[in-house]
Amino acid sequence: MPKLYEYFGLVVLFYSNEHEPVRVHGLYHGRECRADFTIVNGKVVDVQYRSVKGRRPLEASQLADFRAVVAAYSDEIVRKWVDYFVLHKAIQPERIDRRLR
């Protein structure tokens, strides 16, 4: 379960058994949502936010934080997904200490 980012208590990560489409999960105090990426010609063209079966969804403020991280780092998230799932490289987590909004 490689952690990508920590943003004011929100953890953004991949699950090790993920599959396409490219997706990332946001967790905060036992709540979780995911972001599914649509990529066309190597560019992120859409992100769909969804709840995760069996988990309580993120509350509004944490969902806003999750959306902010995904918007700011979408291209990097896709690169990290390729690094981890295709190239089998280790991912180093990053702490984001500045507000993105």
Q: What string of pLDDT tens digits covers the 101 residues of the chain?
A: 799 999 999 999 999 887 778 999 999 999 999 999 999 998 999 999 999 999 999 999 999 999 999 999 999 999 999 999 999 999 999 999 999 97
In a domain, 7, yes or no: yes
What is the reported pTM? 0.92
Number of independent structural domains in the chain:
1
Structure tokens at 76: 């990097």
In a domain, 56, yes or no: yes
Report the alpha-carbon distance of residue 13 to residue 32 in Å, rounded: 11
The domain in which residue 87 lies consists of 3-96
In a domain, 8, yes or no: yes
Which residue in 37, 39, 55 sits closest to 47, CA to CA? 37
In a domain, 36, yes or no: yes
In a domain, 101, yes or no: no
In a domain, 85, yes or no: yes
